[in-house]
Amino acid sequence: MLALYGFFYEYLPPFDRLYLWSDVAGYHYPLHRFAFQVLKEGRIPLWDSSIYCGITLIGNVQAALLYPPTWLMYAAVWSLPRFPFKALEVFTFAHVWLGFVLCYLWLRGRTGKLASGLGAAVFAFSGYMLWETLHPGALAAMAWMPGGFWGIDRTVDRRDWRCLWAVAVSSTLSFLAGYPSAWIVTCVMFLVYALGSRRHLRAAMGVSIALIASALLSCAQLLPAMQARSMMVPERDYGPAAWGLRSQFLSYFIPNWFDFNPGHRPDYEPGCMYLYLGLPALFAVVWVIRRHNLRPYLQPRASRP
């Protein structure tokens, strides 16, 4: 946690020199502020009357009202008259810490402390994780991912299918965090990782059952969202946000030296925001070729996002 504070100290008290921007400020924060205010008034925030002439709030997955860490965030600032934006920033950075801890626990079952710590740092402070601080739902979905991998490993190593509870819980929290497309990626990753294990068919079958169980647990959020989706009119202006091959290849080699500093003009987009996205993978390829032993790396390579 001290290392995390050192990483984000410019955003946190007593410095507060920078702030998160983009969707986390312009979209997610208004949702949380409205829901918090309604709860303070003693009502359940089912309907959001403050946006688009009124839309469902419980059916808006990105509001993450049924995500348990959201309740903890509200409880932490309940004595305040309004929901502060700083609380949402701390909530977001806490998921980076969560990703580090879960990844460390997962890797610790395979290797030593130093390697586990370094591997967890690569995961938690990767470019994708840091860029998605602007989208808390996508960040949270990624943060819970190592918990599912840990459950799969323990299931295979111990031949105890009860350990798949970790997959079900990780999948459920990933969905409730508020970014369904990231949850779908998480489910696919769990299945691919299971297929790459020693007991691939049985592991994949067990993971499938755990994912079905997680879908049942998620129905409290899924059903209102499906009902809202049936009445939605899609906006043509929104489509795939691809930057193109040039920027994607640049992201493998060029780190993010730009931070999220508001000193840049609002439309500034260098096209290579990911911090060393591919360097760990490129190093791993060279390492495998040097050792002439592919077998230990097949499973993590198959499940690489």
- Binned at pLDDT 50, 70 and 90, residue 142 comes out as very high
Q: Does residue 263 form part of some domain?
A: yes
* Burial class for 255, CB neighbours closer than 10 Å (0-12, 13-18, 19+): middle
pLDDT digits (tens, 9 = 90+) for 52-93: 788 899 999 999 999 999 999 999 999 999 999 999 999 999
What residue numbers bound the domain in which 221 lies? 134-229+243-302
Tokens of 194: 């299971």
Q: Does residue 52 form part of some domain?
A: no
Rg (Cα) of the chain, in Å, rounded? Answer: 20
In the predicted model, is pLDDT for residue 211 greater than 90?
Answer: yes
pLDDT digits (tens, 9 = 90+) for 2-32: 888 998 999 998 888 888 988 999 999 999 9
Q: Does residue 16 form part of some domain?
A: no
What is the pTM assigned to this prediction?
0.80
Structural domains counted in the chain: 1
Return phi, psi of residue 55, to 5°: -140, 165
Sign of the C-alpha dihedral computed for residues 102, 107, 110 and 114 taken in this order: negative
Q: Does residue 193 form part of some domain?
A: yes
The proportion of the chain whose per-residue pLDDT surpasses 90, expressed as a percent, equals 54
pLDDT digits (tens, 9 = 90+) for 197-209: 888 889 999 999 9
Q: Does residue 216 form part of some domain?
A: yes
Tokens of 135: 């989208």
**Helix 200-217 with 165-176: angle, nearest 10 deg:** 40
- Of residues 130, 132, 136, 129, the one with CA closest to residue 88: 136
Q: Does residue 284 form part of some domain?
A: yes
Q: Does residue 125 form part of some domain?
A: no
Residue with tokens 């049924």: 66
What is the pLDDT of the chain when averaged over all its residues? 84
Q: Does residue 247 form part of some domain?
A: yes
